Each structure stands twice: as C-alpha cells, then as structure tokens.
C-alpha cells in the first residue's frame, strides 16, 4: 500500500513537517510512505498553466492508494499554499484525482486548539464536488502546543501520548484504505 504524507505548508520550519516525517518513519512497517511537499515546485493555481512540478504532484497523488495531510492553521483555515496544491488536483486542472481517494487529515498548532478549524476547513474542501474525496470520518487528532511536543531543532516527537494517538490513527487509516480498495 502506497501512502503519501503531504506537508500542508510552505514554511521552512514547520511542526506539521515534523509530524509528516514522524508518521512516515514510525509507521514504516504498516505501508510504503512518501513525504511530499507542496512548497517549491508548485505555482499558485491558475487554469491553463502546466509545468513539471504540477505533473509530478498530480502523478504522486494519482499513484497513491491513500493520502495523509498534515495541516497548520492560518487564520482559522488551511494555508493558501495547501489550498492551491489541492486545487491542482481537482477537475479544473485535469481529471479529478481526488475523487473517492482515501484521505486522512491531522494538524499541529502552537496554541491549544491543534489546528481544529483548519482541519474542519480541509474536510469541507475535500468533500466539495470538485474533490469528492473519501475522507476518513471522525478520528480527529488535534496536536496543540506543538513546540512542547516536538524538539524544535531535530524535529523529533518527544511526547509519548501524542505518538500513541498518531500511530493509532495511522493504523485505522491503513484499514480504511485497504477496505476502500477491496
């Protein structure tokens, strides 16, 4: 099973990137993980534009059996970089690659709320007609006070309770993806 772990930000230092890397490393026995950035090669969405970065991004999503997205919260929503990256996958950029694609979301923030509003925002986006993704229901993992849970320099996850919660979610998602592809 191939799972893409999408880092939902273009910030150079990001707890959600630490989270994505942790997921891929700690769960490597459960599936083949690839951590994927939305930063760098992707321009902001504009109909009619094409380049290698967009094709690579679309190919990576098309080839994945499931997608895990780690999202920060920017102004009670997902970051613009992530929104744009999702727009490159929908039906205005080519065939809709998200249709019935199993997706799982989680997020980390500096405050107490664990990117809760951004997670609600992305669930709604993923369920829009243009995306129609197969979003794992419930199973919310809200990682607040991220700077106390990850080592800010090494990116290592140091909080055992959070690790347990994340790994349980990944286990549930792996079953969800397997079921979806039966």
Ligand X SMILES: Cc1cc2nc3c(=O)[nH]c(=O)nc-3n(C[C@H](O)[C@H](O)[C@H](O)COP(=O)(O)O)c2cc1C
Q: Which residues bind ligand X (CB under 6 A)?
A: 9, 11, 14-16, 72-76, 108-111, 113, 146
Pair type for strands 66-70 and 32-37: unpaired
Reduce the DSSP state of residue 142 to 3 states and report it.
Answer: strand
- Cβ of residue 113: shortest distance to ligand X, in angstroms? 5
3-state per-residue secondary structure call for 28-83 = CCCCEEEEEECCCCCCCCCCCCCCHHHHHHHHHHHHCCEEEEECCCECCECCHHHH
CB of 69 to ligand X, least distance (A): 12
**Minimum CB distance to ligand X smaller for 93 or for 166:** 166
Nearest distance, CB of residue 1 and ligand X, angstroms:
26
Kindly state the smallest distance separating residue 109's Cβ from ligand X, in Å. 3
Give the CA distances from residue 39 to residues 36, 43, 113, 140, 162, in Å, rounded to whole numbers and listed in that order. Answer: 9, 9, 25, 25, 26
- Of the pair 47, 75, the CB lying nearest ligand X is at 75
Q: Which is nearer to ligand X, 119 or 134 (CB)?
A: 119
Q: Which one, 14 or 162, has the nearer CB to ligand X? A: 14
Smallest gap from Cβ 81 to ligand X, in A, equals: 10
The rounded radius of gyration (Å) of the Cα atoms in the chain is 15
Closest CB to ligand X among 73 and 87?
73
């Amino acid at each position: 099973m191939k799972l893409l772990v999408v880092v939902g930000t273009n910030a150079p230092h990001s707890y959600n990137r630490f989270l994505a890397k942790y997921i891929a490393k700690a769960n490597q026995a459960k599936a083949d993980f690839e951590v994927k950035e939305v930063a760098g090669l992707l321009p902001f969405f504009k109909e009619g534009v094409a380049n290698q970065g967009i094709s690579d991004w679309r190919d990576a999503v098309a080839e994945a059996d499931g997608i895990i997205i780690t999202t920060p919260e920017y102004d009670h929503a997902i970051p613009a970089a992530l929104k744009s990256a999702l727009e490159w996958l929908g039906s205005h950029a080519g065939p809709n690659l998200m249709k019935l694609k199993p997706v799982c979301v989680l997020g980390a923030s500096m405050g107490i709320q664990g990117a809760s509003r951004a997670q609600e925002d992305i669930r709604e986006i993923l369920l829009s007609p243009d995306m129609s993704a197969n979003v794992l229901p419930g199973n919310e993992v809200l990682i607040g006070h991220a700077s106390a849970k990850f080592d800010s320099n090494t990116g290592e996850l140091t909080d055992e309770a959070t690790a347990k919660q994340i790994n349980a979610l990944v286990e549930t998602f792996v079953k969800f993806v397997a079921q979806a592809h039966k």
